[in-house]
Amino acid sequence: MTHAKPKPLIRLLGVPLIERVILTAKEAGINEFIIVVGFLGEQIKEELGDGRKYGIKIVYVENDDWEKGNGISVFKARKYLQETFILLMSDHILDYRILEGIINYESSNDIVIGIDRREPLKTDTKVLEKNGQIIEIGKELENSNCIDTGIFRCTPKIFAFIEEAIKENKTELAEAIAVGSEKGHVGIFDVSTADSYDSAMSEDIDTWWININTKEDLKNSRKMLCQQLKKTTDGVISRFINRPISIQISKLLVKTSISPNMISFFCFAVAILASVFLSFPAYWALIIGGILAQITSILDGCDGEVARLKFQSSTFGGWLDSILDRYADGFFIFGLSLGLWFRTENYWGWIVGFFALIGSFLNSYSSTKFEEFVNKQTGFFQFLVRRDLRIFIILLGSLFNQIFWTLFILGVIMNLEVLRRIIVTSLIYSKD
C-alpha cells in the first residue's frame, strides 16, 4: 500500500492545488470539467468526487500512458471536447481574471496561449511570438521573447495537431502546439498587460499566475495569495497594523475546519467581552477592554481572508459580518458611556455617547453608498474614516484613561465625515 500523494493534492493554504485551480475556474464562470488522471489518480477522484460538493460537474478520463508527455493526456479527452474549451494544468495557480480575459479575448486562432513577458526560468516553456502569432515554442528555445503560462483556449482542432505530433513520436503538448504554430493556427493572449483583458476588468488589480514546481514556488504562491488579501479600501490602521497581523492568523486558520462565519461569531463574542470591561469604572478594566476591542478589529479581517483563501465567500457571510460589526460598534460605545457614568454620574457622558453612536452607524452605512457615488477620477479627497480608525481611537482613549474625550472625538470626527460625504456627493451630482 502506497502513502505517496500525487502533486495535484499538495495543499496550498489549506486547499489542494487541483481544487484551487477548479474553484478559480468556477469563479470565471466554468462549471464543467474534464480531468485526466494517471498515476495515483484514484486519490484525486476520491478527493474531488463528482464535483457536486463544489457545484460543478466532473468527468474523469483515465490515462494509462501517464509516463509519456502531457500531450497524450490532452489527446485522451478528445471525445469529450467537441467545442471550444479552456485547457489548464493542475499545478498552475492563477488569478481568475486571467481566465475571464482569455475566455473573452477576440481571436480567430484555433489555439490561444496565455503568455507572460517575464524573464524565463529553467523550467519554463519558452515562446517566440511576432505580431500576435506563435513562431516557435519549446523548453530549449534559445531565441524567445515570452513564456508559456500553461493556460490555453482551444478548439477541437488541437487534437489534429497532437495526433500529427504523436506520429513523429512527439508526446509533449508544447510539441503539438509547435505543429499548430507552423500552420499559423496559434495566437497569444498576453497576461502581463492590461490591454488583453476585458474592458470590465479593473486595471488597478494585479493579476498573477505561478507554476508550482519546487518548494520555493509553493512559498512564493502563498506570498502572492496573501498579497491579494490586501484591499485598496483598507483604512490606514488596517493597512499598517491590522492586515499584516490578521493575514498571519488566517494562514493558520485555513489549515483547520473553522469556517468564516465561525470566525465572525467568535470576533463578536470578543467584542461583547470588550464592552463589558469598558463598562467597569476601574482603569485596569478599561485597558483590557481597549485591548480586546483592538483584537476584534484585527480578527475582523480574518473571516474575509479565510473565505477568499478557501473559496468560501458568500453574500450571506458578508452580510452577517456587517451586521455583527454594527452590533459590536454599538456595544463599544455603550460600554464606554456606561463606564463613564459609573465614574462621574455626569449626563454629558450619555450625550457625547449618543453622538458617537449615531456617527458610528451613519459612517458605516454611508461608506459603501459613498464609494458607489464617487468615482475615483473626480479628484476629490478620498480619505475615509473607517471602522479600524474608530476602534483604534477607543484603544488609545482606554490606554490614556480618557473616556469622555474618546467619545467626544468619535462623535465629532464620525459626524464630520458623514457631513463631508454628503457635501462631496452633492457637488458631484450638481455637475450632472
Predicted local distance difference test score (pLDDT) of residue 197? 41
Of all residues in the chain, the percent with pLDDT exceeding 70 is 92
Instruction: Say whether pLDDT at 1 is over 60.
Output: no
Q: What is the mean pLDDT of residues 270-275?
A: 98
The sign of the torsion formed by the CA atoms of 94, 95, 100, 105 equals negative
Detail the DSSP E strand segments found in 262-402.
none
Rounded-to-integer distance, Cα 15 and Cα 23, Å: 10
SS (H, E, C) 116-160: ECCCCCCCCCEEEEECCEEEEEECCCCCCCEEEEEEEEECCHHHH
CA 232, 419, 274 angle in degrees (round to 5)?
Answer: 65
Instruction: Say whether pLDDT at 431 is over 90.
Output: no
Rounded-to-integer distance, Cα 238 and Cα 232, Å: 11
Quick: pLDDT tens for 335-382. 999 999 999 998 998 999 999 999 999 988 888 777 767 655 454 445
Instruction: Say whether pLDDT at 401 is over 50.
Output: yes
Domains and CATH numbers, the chain: 7-223 (3.90.550.10), 229-430 (1.20.120.1760)
Predicted local distance difference test score (pLDDT) of residue 280? 96
Predicted local distance difference test score (pLDDT) of residue 205? 42
Predicted local distance difference test score (pLDDT) of residue 198? 40
Instruction: Say whether pLDDT at 207 is over 90.
Output: no
Q: Is this prediction's pTM over 0.85?
A: yes
Predicted local distance difference test score (pLDDT) of residue 396? 98
Q: What is the mean pLDDT of residues 140-145?
A: 90
Q: Which long-range contacts (CB under 8 A, 24 or more apart) does 260-263 make?
A: 260/303, 260/304, 260/306, 260/307, 260/310, 260/312, 260/313, 260/317, 260/321, 261/303, 261/317, 261/320, 263/299, 263/302, 263/303, 263/306
